[in-house]
Every structure is written in C-alpha cells, then in structure tokens.
Amino acid sequence: MKKIFLSVPLIIVILITIFCLVFLLQNRDPTKPPSALLNKNLPDFDIINLFDNTNIISSKNFKGNIMLINFFASWCSPCKIEHPLFFEIKKNYPSIILIGIDYKDKGEEGINYLKTMGNPYDYVGVDNKGSIGLELGVFGLPETFIVNSKGIIVHKHLGPITKKIITNEIIPFIQ
C-alpha cells in the first residue's frame, strides 16, 4: 500500500514527460491555436462582392463544393507572399471554389491590390468592419479555411501558405 503512494510522484513525472514530448513532436505552434470551428458547419453569412456592392451572395450558395476561403488585405505583407500560390491551386485543382475576403480594407484599396497582384479567386468579398472575420474567429492575417462539400470546416491555416503546406495540409482534405 505504502509502495503505491511512494510511486505516485514517479508516475506523474513519466506522464508529464509523455504529454510534453507528444506536444513537441506534433510540431504544435503555441502562437497558432487550433480553430474553434473545426468540424463544425460553416456559419451562414452574407458576402458583398468587392467589385460590385449590390451583388450579395450568401455563403449557403457555395455549399456542395469544396471551398477555400482566404482572408487577405492590402495592408498585410505576408499576404503578398502567399498570393501567387493561389493561382497554382486554381490551376491544379479547378474544382475547388476559391473565395477571397478583403478584410478591413478601406475604399478602393482592395480592388487596387488585386489589380496589381492579379485575382486568382472565383469570388471576392469585402469585409470592411471585420464582421465576417468575427464569425469565423479571424484575428490575424492571412488566414485560410478549407470547407468540404458537406459545408463542414475541415482545416484552418494561420499565416501565409507555402508549397509545403499545400502538399501537407491542404491536399489531404481536398481528396
């Protein structure tokens, strides 16, 4: 009986080590928390077209297709770095619907940004006040969501995407 008591500290030490080891080996980034909306339905929200303020589409319209929603802005420098990769995604996986959301930009800045950098998106929405971002838990740009054909958010990536991330994190969900 006493020996069991005496072994408790050792067991706790081993348990702590295992959990911390697994955490580190899983390459979890302490600055990038997993999304709260993972495996939940994409919330319904209205997207105002960046180029035509009268054109409003509901997120419900895109259901049934695999969606990639990318939050960007003209004031976000890492967004400029990841931007060209979206053309590649569009080229290699034409079945995906690419939606860009221009987050907290003023006036024509978003339009000018896309004119300079090119527009890879199938549809671009504007979110001046950040209300769409609020619904999806956006807090730092760029952020990219992947929604499957059943309308469920299956992955969220914080920060700019790279070729490696496309291969390791995005492709698996697209199959």
Q: 58, 120, 62: which is closest to 93 by C-alpha? A: 120
Minimum Å distance from CB 27 to another protein?
A: 7
Stretch of 24-32, 94-102, 118-126, 164-172 lying at the interface with another protein (CB under 8 A): 24-32
Helices (H), the chain: 2-25, 77-92, 109-117, 131-136, 163-165, 171-174
Site for another protein contains 35 (CB under 8 A): yes
Please tell me the distance from the alpha carbon of residue 81 to that of residue 7, in angstroms, as a whole number. 53
33 binds another protein (CB under 8 A): yes
The pair of structure tokens assigned to 76 is 């976000």
51 touching another protein, by CB under 8 A = no
Instruction: Check residue 28 for interaction with another protein (CB under 8 A).
Output: yes
| Pairwise CA distance, residues 115 & 36, whole Å | 34
DSSP letter string over 95-117?
A: TSEEEEEEES--TTHHHHHHHHH
According to the binding rule CB under 8 A, does residue 79 interact with another protein?
A: no
By CB under 8 A, is residue 1 in contact with another protein?
A: no
**From the CB of 159, what's the least distance to another protein, in Å?**
12
Task: Provide the binding-site residues for another protein, judged by CB under 8 A.
Answer: 3, 6-7, 9-10, 13-14, 16-17, 19-28, 30-31, 33-38, 130, 134-137, 139-140
